[in-house]
Structure formats: C-alpha cells, structure tokens
Chain A
C-alpha cells in the first residue's frame, strides 16, 4: 500500500460522491466493513456512537436508497478537497479533508473539516475500505448531513 494508491482511491471516492454517483459509493467498501461519521471530541471521550454507523456494505446501500427515495432535504452538492494521505501502519492511513457544501439557492459554506482514519484491504494494488472513520473536527453540523462524507 502506497501513497499513490491511496490518492487514487480517495480521488475516486470523492468524485463518486461529488458527482452524485452515490450508488457507486458502497463499492469502495468491503462487504463486512465499518463506516462511521463521528467527531474528534467523541473519539477522545470514548463515545462509540456516530451520526452515521454502518457495519455492512448493505447498510451503506440502504443509506443511498433512503436518500434517493425516502428522505426530505433540499437539493445540495458537496465538493471534497482531500489532502495528502499519511500511511500509519501496514494497512492503515489517515487523510485530512474539507467539504464545501453548495445549496440549491447558491449558498456555499465550508461544511466539514476533518480526517479519514482508514483500515484498508489491498488486493493486488486495488484498495478497499475495511473501515473508514470520518472524524470531523467539530461536533456541530449545519442543519443536517444528508449526503455521505
């Protein structure tokens, strides 16, 4: 696992979300993955709960289904700016990110700053997530978090 492979993975991951190809988003994960959105403070305090908590790829697919067919929220898009990954172990990495959110009325805000803490599976150079913890620097979120981070 090297930085170039991680960069490629993060770029494809961000593009799938930002280009509204959300149906492809679960494919970046293993079938028995763990995806969680939490905050630095909750991590420090040992609080297990996230605002999103999925322990299977199927749960990620259900979230996309809910966003497409069930949930009410205003039209919005994200722009992920993903920083340089830091390899922290044989199968782990941390990568900082920013997300700018643009609402349907044109309002644009810096929505979330944080870091991804990942555990990866390397299948002949193709990386998938066993675990992706989205650790937001703040525990505050403006209105709602609909689209995944």
Chain B
C-alpha cells in the first residue's frame, strides 16, 4: 500500500478519512505518540499476579511488556526487551520468577526491570569482558508508571498522563467499581484475530447505534434496543465512554417494525440460555465501557468480559478476551455465566458479528483513502447523551486521537 503521511482532515469530528485506517506510517506514529504517550494502557488484572514474582506478558501497542508483582507487593511493568541485544526477556504468557535472565547472554534483571548482573562481565582469565566504566545501573529497561483501579492494572510511559481516575471520568470509574465489587476470577481467555485496523474496533465498542441493528440477538430478545432506557456518558477528554442499556418496559415496542434485526418469530428451544440473575440490584441490562486507547469491559446480563485490542499490523488486530466471574459465584450463577457467554467472544451470537464488521469496512473502503466515514448521529459534539442513537462516543475517540497525534 502507498504511504500517505500527510493526513488531511475534514473540519470537525463528524468525518473521518479512510486513510487513517490504511496508512502503515501512521501505525509507527501511533506507537511513539499515542501508545507510548499520554494514555493509560490496560496491562492485566491484579488477580492474575497475586504473589511476589508473579508476572504476565502483554503489549502496549506493538511493544512487548512484562507486568510483575514485586517483592514489596507493588506492581511494576517494563518493556520486554533486553538492554543488551534486544531479545525478549520473558518468553511465556505468565509465570513466577525471583528475577529475569535473558536467554541470549544471561543478562539478569530484578523484578522491577533493573539490570543486576552481566555474565562474564570481567571476561575470562583476565581477558575480554565489559569496559571498566560500564555501569549496570545506567541500563534499566523502559519502565511504565502504574495505576490500578478496581483490580485493573494500567500503565503509561508519559509523565504528562493525568491521574487514571481523572482520565477515565467519573461515570466509567463508577461502573468499574460495580464490576469489581466482588473478587474477580478469570474463567476463560481467548483471542480473536481481527483482519482490520485496531481503530475500527475501538470505534465499534463505542458505537451504541449499531448494536441493535447489526445484532439480531440483541434486538429480538430485547437485550439491547435503542428504545430501551439508558444513555451514553463520555469522559471530558472524549476518549472514554460508558454506554448503558436498561431493562425493557412491558410496553409494546413498534420502533423496529421495518428493521431486519427484529425477528419476532425467532424462539429459543432452550430459553435458559438467557436466564439472568440481577447481581447488582440495578436496572442495567447491558453496559459497555471503554478506556482510550484499547480497552473495553462489558457487562451483559451475567456476562462480564474484558476486551483488549492489540495492533499487529496496519490491518491486523489481536482482540484478547478475558471472561470473568466472581470467586464467590454459586454454581448456579457460574453456570448462567458460562451459558450466557455464548453471546460473547469469537463464536458469540453477538460478538462474532463485531469480529467481521471491521473487515467489511476495510474491504469496502480500500479504494477510497480520501473518502470519509460519516459520524453525524446525535450531532457533532462529544457530550454525554440520553439517546444511544448517537455517535458521540466515537467522535470522542477521534477528539482524543487527533489531540494526541497532532492532527
């Protein structure tokens, strides 16, 4: 693909030129300015690294990163790259170690990512070895600043990133607290390899307008219709959002009468799939929260899931799903989660459609780099709105993206 480095934007936030999903050069700029810039990158759950020495590997944009519980019980994170020759320091997804030793030349790091020792530093028999003025303490890995909220670990490389709670805004923070009101437990991990630019997925999780139109399951079974109560909250910086759908009322709803996604003749042979418990004593039926740049968390009935999207190339994204329950789930509630999870993930009655839709955009717009995606539902701003028939949160994403990228 040709490189298009000079991105020209229409005025306002309501139009996005397609080449921002297509330009390979932008991916490099995003790595430097955005993922390593003033944002909070989701790293892992605290419950995944409970004990000193527990670590997991993940990514900040394309950068490999290690997240670790140190001897003091604090969480540290650093670039997973040996300062010597650049090899990965940690090779697996997770583990427990006293320290880290690069396999290539046995350079050793402590749990915080500080270089502690170098094999044959003084050479052999007085010959070879490192220069006398080499100081290990001058060669630490690149470290992230860490903040946690509701059991979620986030990291940033920039000193300019505001405090995490100010960054995500009060509504997203309140929703996270409800999700984490009991001890979280991972009950499944799967990855969907998406054939599209990561930003198309970031838009999709903020797109409350599409959910009941693309997804027959949502509309037909009244899990999520635009005519149900709820609303969309956008953080002051634009980048984070909370979309809430409340339980339907008993009133007849004719607003979808001509729309494909409602099929009243569709009946489940085993309706127990959608039997839900009201866990939190509220009227919320579905909630999707998103944190810029690449994190979303959903609650749909008794489904709880984290989605982390990692760019693998300009047109390839790993969507990491982490399915969650609470450690104290009754067997009945746990089984409900397992059954309702048929809605989510790579084979989800709802989520499988989000898996392919980004690629439909990629293929539809391949010859239209200067064409634009229209985002005019619900006005031109990025304010919170009562109606979810709105693209306000997607405009919010672009407000933050453009601010950080200087475009």
Q: Which residues of A line the B interface, CB within 8 A?
A: 37-39, 41-42, 45, 47-56, 58-59, 61-63, 65-66, 69-74, 139-146
Contact = CB atoms under 8 A, between A and B. Distances in A.
Given A47-B187, A61-B269, A145-B347, A52 B352 contact: no
B352 A41 contact: no
Interface stretch (B122-130, B333-341, B373-381): B333-341
Given A52-B347, A58-B270, 5 more contacts: A45-B186, A50-B188, A65-B269, A139-B191, A141-B191
B193 A140 contact: yes
Contacts of A141: 190-193, 346-347
Contact of B192 (A39, A50, A53, A143): A143
Nearest to B214: A72
A70 B193 contact: no
Contacts, number: 127
B194 interface: yes
A68 to B, nearest CB: 10
A143 B342 contact: no
B50 to A, nearest CB: 14
A38 to B, nearest CB: 8
Contacts of B273: 59, 62
Contacts of B189: 41-42, 45, 47, 139
Interface in B327-358: 334-335, 337-339, 341-342, 345-349, 352-353, 355-357
Contacts of B266: 65, 69-70
B323 interface: yes
Nearest to B363: A105
A56 to B, nearest CB: 5
Interface residues of B, number: 42
Nearest to A59: B270
A45 B258 CA distance: 47
B352 A144 contact: yes
A144 B191 contact: no
Contacts of B193: 140-143
A18 B186 CA distance: 34
Interface in B142-189: 186-189
Contacts of B334: 48
B195 interface: yes
A71 B341 contact: no
B220 A37 contact: no
B263 A70 contact: yes
A139 B190 contact: yes
A53 B346 contact: no
Contacts of A39: 190
Contact of A145 (B187, B337, B352): B352
